[in-house]
Amino acid sequence: MNTQAPEQSKPSNFIRQIIDEDRASGKNQGRVVTRFPPEPNGYLHLGHAKSICLNFGLARDYAGICHLRMDDTNPTKEEQEYVDSIMNDVRWLGFEWKDKFFHASDYFLQLHDFAVELIKLGKAYVCELTAEQMRDYRGTLTQPGKESPYRSRSIEENLKLFAGMRNGEFPDNGKTLRLKIDMNSSNINLRDPVIYRIRRAHHQRTGDTWCIYPMYDYAHCLSDMLEGITHSICTLEFEDHRPLYDWILDTLKTPCHPQQIEFARLNLEFTMMSKRRLLELVEGKHVEGWDDPRMPTISGIRRRGITPEAIRNFAERVGVTKKNTTIEIELFESTVREDLDENCARAMAVIKPLKVVLTNVPENHEEWIDCAWHPKKPEMGSRKVGFTREVYIEQDDFMEVPPKGFHRLVPGGEVRLRHVGIIKCEEVIKNSAGQITTLHCSLDPETRTGMSGSNRKVKGTIHWVSAKHSLAAVARLYDRLFTVPNPADIDDWKATLNPKSLELVDTCFVESSLKGVPTLSRYQFERVGYFCLDASSQSAGQPVFNRVITLRDTWAKAQGTGAP
């Protein structure tokens, strides 16, 4: 028996308690084998990430293994592109399945043979009710069902008809194989559920070998059993299916009987966790693709610049419970910020530039200022930032007629240029249309680093880049994809898409030290936000930076929805 304790730092939860008890009692010889069983009909999202962190995390902490299984029993919606993306996403999150990669379709023959066994046990029959009739016969939550007239066929006849189904003798949907359980059960899932249907669909792995396909509930428990899964963890909506899961394994007297355990699925404000709806966003071109940085998909999150560590921390923080809730977006955002603050190098970038000429700095002045990459992490080293007579500052950092409490640059006022010294605005230059084009400022040489006045206090510090030594860049300022916290609950959910979820700004300048950095490099642009270099930079011919997240929650304020 494996007695290795789970990592001390992990908070316990009810699933860990079940596993601890199982190990204490010697159940499953102390082994922990979990699985993550996505249907390859779309890209994985943050909800799946929670399930991945849970299943692979348990396997890791209990020195077990987590299988990755493609639940590919529905051939019409599944594609290799999705399989590849799923494998990529699980690996990116930091998990490994070793050689335990499976497909439910690997078991099609065994599943068929179990169905034959169920027929032989008198526990399954071939039914000819149409889908509509079957709905009628099924009854409701308050009314019992009615038995199908085909329920009492002989075992021989059922065997013959099921073989006919398999051999393509009947049209699609012409017959089904159903379990013979109990049409009076208070649990509708036990009212003779269908376990096989006829469907002449090409399967991406088994081709045209099969024209009958097993239903999820039937395939799932048997796949778990065949793989020797010990703890089959799924979301709460399957709680009512557990009696069926157990019935199938008990009736077949299988040598192994995994325990199904349900937990609450992840819901997050201002987004949606349904592959079907995410597919609609992609197909309706509301976003640029599955990996659009506004999507809650793992590929979107990755492209946005969020790290796998942040996702794992988030999964840990939301925890594992039995109660469905919607997690506040602030929890997600603060987890992302914490991770970026800790790990991102700092850099200077100006998103909407205003030219400043430092009139007392010589025209040919060229200075390389040593700036630390991270204020709290000297081990990250430093870079040289070019400083010249002409610099750009953020348009927002200057106001000709400032409101009260504006601590940045104003006519005749002073502000500190980060890493340089204090400048004073001497003159505002405008074009014929009256728009401000340039500021003429003077730099107080006594306030430069190492000089006697370097500690002189002014209210504001602003960032800048050298006009000569900076790179033109594009910034994509992403915001929440929806304007309401609960789009999934709204019938016309597409009407709640945020029209301002992407602002493209092509006027940016970033410091020259960012030249040629690899895709997905992340920075905190000081005072602006966290940014990540997008893969499209190459084809764009200039750096394209995705805003991962703002430095603070400015959103609630902008929307006028509370938070100061």
Q: Does 302 bind ligand ATP (CB under 6 A)?
A: no
Instruction: Verify whether residue 78 is a known catalytic residue.
Output: no
> Do residues 97 and 89 make contact, with C-beta atoms less than 8 angstroms apart?
no
Alpha-carbon span 71 to 39, nearest angstrom: 5
Which candidate, 415, 555, 389, places its Cα nearest to that of 480? 555
Q: Does 37 bind ligand ATP (CB under 6 A)?
A: yes
Task: Please give the C-alpha separations between residue 318 and each of 147, 174, 217, in angstroms, as whole numbers.
Answer: 45, 46, 28
Least separation in angstroms between residue 276's CB and ligand ATP is 6
User: With left for phi above 0 and alpha for psi between -120 and 50, is residue 112 left, alpha or beta?
Assistant: alpha
Question: Is residue 195 classed as helix, strand or coil in its secondary structure?
Answer: strand
Residue of 23, 242, 275, 547 marked catalytic: 275
Q: Does 312 bind ligand ATP (CB under 6 A)?
A: no
Token couple for 237: 């909506």
C-beta closer to ligand ATP: residue 18 or 380: 18
Q: Which stretch binds ligand ATP (CB under 6 A): 42-50, 117-125, 303-311, 519-527?
A: 42-50
Q: Does 50 bind ligand ATP (CB under 6 A)?
A: yes
Instruction: Verify whether residue 265 is a known catalytic residue.
Output: yes
C-beta closer to ligand ATP: residue 197 or 275: 275
User: Which H or E run includes 86?
Assistant: helix 80-92
Least separation in angstroms between residue 263's CB and ligand ATP is 7
Q: Does 47 bind ligand ATP (CB under 6 A)?
A: yes
Q: Tell which one of 6, 30, 38, 193 touches ligand ATP (CB under 6 A).
A: 38
Q: Tell which one of 20, 27, 31, 39 touches ligand ATP (CB under 6 A).
A: 39
> Do residues 251 and 121 make contact, with C-beta atoms less than 8 angstroms apart?
yes
C-beta closer to ligand ATP: residue 44 or 549: 44
Residues 65-94 that bind ligand ATP (CB under 6 A): 71
Residue of 27, 31, 39, 309 marked catalytic: 39
Question: Is residue 504 classed as helix, strand or coil in its secondary structure?
Answer: strand
3-state secondary structure 527-547: CCEEEEECCCHHHHCCCEEEE
C-beta closer to ligand ATP: residue 53 or 165: 53
Q: Tell which one of 23, 33, 43, 48 touches ligand ATP (CB under 6 A).
A: 48
Residue of 100, 160, 265, 424 marked catalytic: 265
Q: Does 234 bind ligand ATP (CB under 6 A)?
A: yes
Instruction: State which residue has the least CB distance to ligand ATP.
Output: 47
Alpha-carbon span 549 to 332, nearest angstrom: 11
Size, binding site for ligand ATP by CB under 6 A: 16
Token couple for 340: 């970026």
Least separation in angstroms between residue 296's CB and ligand ATP is 9
User: With left for phi above 0 and alpha for psi between -120 and 50, is residue 143 left, alpha or beta?
Assistant: beta
Q: Does 30 bind ligand ATP (CB under 6 A)?
A: no
Least separation in angstroms between residue 271's CB and ligand ATP is 11
Q: Tell which one of 13, 235, 313, 334 touches ligand ATP (CB under 6 A).
A: 235
Least separation in angstroms between residue 212's CB and ligand ATP is 21
Binding mask 248-277 for ligand ATP (x = CB under 6 A): -----------------xx------xxxx-
**CB burial string 255-287: b at 16+ within 10 A, e below:** eebbbbbbbbbbbbbbbbbebeebeebbeeeeb
Alpha-carbon span 194 to 118, nearest angstrom: 13
Task: For residue 378, give the DSSP letter.
Answer: G
At residue 234, what is the residue type? C
Least separation in angstroms between residue 234's CB and ligand ATP is 5
Least separation in angstroms between residue 87's CB and ligand ATP is 13
**CB burial string 184-193: b at 16+ within 10 A, e below:** ebeeebbbbb
Pairing of strands 65-70, 101-103: parallel
Least separation in angstroms between residue 264's CB and ligand ATP is 8
Instruction: Verify whether residue 468 is a known catalytic residue.
Output: no
Binding site for ligand ATP (CB under 6 A): 37-39, 47-48, 50-51, 71, 234-235, 265-266, 273-276
Catalytically annotated residues: 39, 265, 275
